[in-house]
């Protein structure tokens, strides 16, 4: 496995969320900070919670998830940390250990949700030997009980496929929030392994819904923008290594609507602070943002259609990720069969709680 660490602080507060939309909001959850490897944990037991207070809404699932424990891999990276905070906020418990990159010193951090006041101490163990990973995961699985240990992965694009194989090998249901990697191969590998997981390029529920709407539009009106040229620009914090997964997915729909020969490689990727600011990103959003603009321009330049989506912060993605974990845990209890899901499945199941 290959790994890339980050020095982001666990205590960094998530910035506010802002949207600027023209026709549609479309983007990608930025997040790719570490691949994970090894950790060691002593024998662990988890007390059962009775009548645990879990935030409810009209969209809440009926399954009892009080025994579920979530291992969030990739902390202290900001996206993994935000996801861990969202889990606490939505009534899920974190495991006392999690995996992090090999260059990050072993330490115990406190994950704290400022909304509910809930917190959890998590020991981050650097990557080293896979034998230690396996022994530790087995210990956690024994302590949690069958199918009660789930994983959230916000690591690094280069780690996506190898991490997926590791989770399948260990029988760990997971939500893959990390973008990049060979997504088709990842899905194929997980289907062949009969692995239960959620794999999606974007965890933001509103964006997922609108993305699905665009896909439907492309199916109903293919070629509606024939003769129009496509242009796509996306800006993310400079620590984001890959091109936006959502931008790639959106391009597929745009190409169905147009006859342009635009390819994923033509997406303009902005990772420079000054260029991002010129693109409209506020100073306070440079450390975590997703600004996307998609345009259709007529051949003579007299007509232009623009789709714009601007997000500052990571909360919208973190909330969706926690919802995906709850969805996955419920599906395991209902079906007991391995299956690869995406965020459309989560959305259609009504498993997205109100923010």
Residues catalogued as catalytic: 236, 240
HSE-up (13 A, CA, CB side) for residue 249: 23
DSSP state of 118: -
Cis peptide leading into residue 76 (ω within 30°) = yes
Contact between residue 195 and residue 340 where contact means Cβ atoms under 8 Å apart = yes
Bridging pattern class, strands 229-236 and 289-297: antiparallel
Bridging pattern class, strands 93-94 and 69-73: parallel
Question: Which residues make Cβ contacts (< 8 Å) with residue 325, sequence separation at least 6?
Answer: 68, 70, 87, 92, 150, 152, 175
- The DSSP string of 141-203 is HHHH-TT-EEEEE---GGGHHHHHHHHHHHT--EEE----S-HHHHHHHHHHTT--EEE-S--
Strand partners, 309: 292
Q: Distance (Å, rounded) from C-alpha 275 to C-alpha 259?
A: 30
Question: Which residues make Cβ contacts (< 8 Å) with residue 40, sequence separation at least 6?
Answer: 125, 132, 135, 136
Contact between residue 46 and residue 113 where contact means Cβ atoms under 8 Å apart = no
- The DSSP string of 12-35 is PPPPP-----BSB-----------
């Amino acid at each position: 496995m290959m790994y890339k660490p980050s020095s982001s602080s666990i205590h960094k507060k998530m910035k506010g969320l802002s949207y600027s939309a023209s026709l549609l909001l479309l983007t990608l959850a930025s997040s790719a900070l570490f691949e994970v490897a090894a950790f060691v944990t002593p024998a662990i037991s988890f007390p059962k919670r009775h009548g645990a207070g879990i935030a409810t809404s009209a969209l809440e699932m009926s399954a009892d998830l009080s025994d579920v424990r979530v291992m969030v891999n990739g902390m202290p990276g900001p996206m993994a940390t935000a996801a861990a905070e969202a889990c606490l906020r939505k009534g899920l418990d974190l495991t006392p250990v999690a995996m992090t990159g090999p260059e990050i010193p072993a330490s115990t951090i406190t994950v704290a949700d400022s909304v509910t006041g809930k917190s959890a101490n998590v020991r981050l163990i650097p990557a080293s030997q896979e034998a230690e990973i396996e022994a530790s995961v087995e210990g956690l699985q024994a302590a949690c009980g069958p199918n009660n240990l789930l994983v959230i992965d916000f690591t690094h694009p280069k780690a996506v496929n190898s991490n997926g194989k590791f989770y399948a090998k260990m029988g760990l249901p997971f939500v893959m929030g990390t973008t990049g990697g060979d997504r088709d191969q990842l899905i194929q590998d997980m289907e062949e392994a009969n692995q239960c997981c959620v794999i999606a390029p974007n965890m933001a529920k509103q964006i997922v819904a609108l993305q699905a709407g665009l896909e439907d539009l492309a199916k109903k009106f293919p070629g509606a923008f024939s003769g129009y040229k496509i242009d796509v620009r996306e800006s993310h914090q400079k620590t984001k290594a890959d091109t936006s997964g959502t931008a790639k997915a959106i391009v597929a729909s745009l190409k169905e609507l147009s006859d342009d020969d635009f390819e994923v490689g033509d997406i303009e990727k902005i990772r420079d602070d000054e260029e991002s600011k010129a693109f409209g990103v506020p100073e306070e959003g440079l450390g975590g943002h997703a600004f996307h603009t998609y345009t259709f321009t007529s051949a003579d330049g007299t007509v232009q259609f623009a789709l714009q989506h601007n997000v500052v912060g990571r909360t919208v993605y973190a909330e969706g990720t926690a919802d995906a974990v709850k969805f996955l845990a419920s599906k395991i209890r209902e079906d007991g069969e391995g299956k690869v899901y995406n965020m459309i499945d989560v959305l259609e199941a009504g498993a997205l709680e109100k923010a």
